Amino acid sequence: MRAERRAESCGSWRALAPIVAAFLLTSVGGCRELNPEFRDSAATMTSSSTDEPSSTTVTPTTAGTVETTTGTPTTGSGSGSTSTSSTTETTTTTTSATTTDPGCDVDQMYCDGLCVNTEVNINHCGGCDQPCLMTHVCVEGGCVLNCQVGEQVCGLSCIDPQIDIDHCGGCNRPCLPSEFCVMGVCESECPPGTTECNGGCVDTDDSPKHCGACDAPCEGEYLMCLGGECMQVCPPSFSVCNGDCTDTQNDLTNCGACGNVCNGNKVCGDGNCVNSCKNGKELCGVLCVDTDNNPAHCGDCGQACLNGQNCLNGSCECPGATTLCGAECVNTNGDPDHCGACDVPCADNEDCVNGACV
């Protein structure tokens, strides 16, 4: 009798197994938030992946296998290649995208019907269907934080070393509890005309994170803090459509004027609905763009430059005498975290002067 009950119990569990498996499969799914600036350009691509920490990059290896690397990509001296110093573990995954095609260049992969460079493509970063989060761009096949100009990456956050009390002048350079961070230096008090915000001394008239008051950021691509108020400042050739700065010369949903949509297979070229993009421009989402100089689509659609970089002849370049170190353009002559070269930090009691720690 006991053996019969055991057999009956095992049979019941076997009957429930498919239901349990289905529940587990539907309960572990995640979603990735795409950068709104590039969501339109991904309309023809299928982007699906599992939520992962912002410091995780995925690199393709053999068919059906990816390497998951925990850490932030770092760059050697100069604007050359990026390397990742971290621990690596290999897991198995399945993707429906084709990764090889005879028509693609040697540095490209065939993803969802398109030839893309997975080293820099924000929708296929490190491999097909591996989109970066909205706060990241793709650098050397890894998603990295895209900090605003003047900020730098410390740990997993973008900080302003001019006012951050925990990273005053550089990463991991905290001020004493009685001090304030003033222009990257720990001081005993805030100077006149500034306001203490979270241990930093700021001018609330023009601070993008403390505009008019502490913790009142101006959030938006074309918002600036002017006189203590967040003001929308559009480029000269743009128009304001539904509250957003819009390129009516190339936007097929606002072509020539707000609300004028190009129907069928038409695109918007020079403010007119035409059959194809003109003057060598490419259709990226709803925009005809010049990929030679567009920092959001530099060299190809979906290849975004870091904030502060310029797009020159289809390549992202750091301005002036600055050097790309990891995910930021820095002046190695005066940066205490990259003194003289990338990833050469000065001691806590040292400053970087002319590329040397003193």
Span 278-307, average pLDDT? 92
Of residues 129 and 7, more confidence is placed in 129
What is the structure's pLDDT at 126?
94
Beta bridge partners of 137: 144
pLDDT tens digit sequence for 240-249: 999 999 999 9
Query: Is the per-residue pLDDT at 233 higher than 70?
Result: yes
Span 70-95, average pLDDT? 37
- pTM, entire model: 0.61
Q: Grade residue 289 by pLDDT with cuts at 50, 70 and 90.
A: very high
Q: Grade residue 286 by pLDDT with cuts at 50, 70 and 90.
A: confident
What is the structure's pLDDT at 304?
94
Quickly count: other Cβ atoms within 10 Å of residue 338's Cβ. Answer: 27
**What are the helix and strand counts (H, E) for the chain?**
2, 29
Identify the residue whose tokens are 């992962």.
52
pLDDT tens digit sequence for 124-139: 999 999 999 988 999 9
What is the structure's pLDDT at 148?
87
Q: Is the four-CA dihedral 199, 202, 205, 211 of positive or negative sign?
A: negative
> What is the Cα–Cα distance from 17 to 47, expressed in whole angstroms?
31
Query: Is the per-residue pLDDT at 91 higher than 70?
Result: no
pLDDT tens digit sequence for 14-66: 444 444 344 333 333 333 334 434 344 444 333 333 344 443 333 343 333 33
- Give the angle subtended at the CA of 189 by the CAs of 188 and 191, to the nearest 5°: 135
SS3 (DSSP) at 93: coil
What is the structure's pLDDT at 351?
86
Contact of 268 with 257, CB cutoff 8 Å: no
- List Cβ neighbours of 25 (8 Å cut-off, separation of 6 or more): none
Burial state string for 58-69 with b = 16 or more CB within 10 A and e = fewer than 16? bbbeeeeebbbb
Contact of 200 with 190, CB cutoff 8 Å: no
Tokens describing residue 328 = 């930021």
CA-to-CA separations, 203 to 4, 141, 180, in angstroms, rounded: 80, 38, 14
Burial state string for 268-295 with b = 16 or more CB within 10 A and e = fewer than 16? bbebebbeebeeebbbbbbbbbebeebb
Tokens describing residue 283 = 């259709």
Q: Among 203, 181, 176, which Cα is nearest to 192's?
A: 203
Q: Grade residue 80 by pLDDT with cuts at 50, 70 and 90.
A: very low
Of residues 229 and 155, more confidence is placed in 229
SS3 (DSSP) at 118: coil
Element housing 238 (H / E): none
Query: Is the per-residue pLDDT at 230 higher than 80?
Result: yes
What is the structure's pLDDT at 290?
94
Q: Among 299, 322, 344, 326, which Cα is nearest to 147's?
A: 326
Query: Is the per-residue pLDDT at 141 higher than 60?
Result: yes
Give me the phi and psi of 118, to 5 degrees please. Answer: -75, 0
Element housing 152 (H / E): strand 152-154
What is the structure's pLDDT at 100?
56
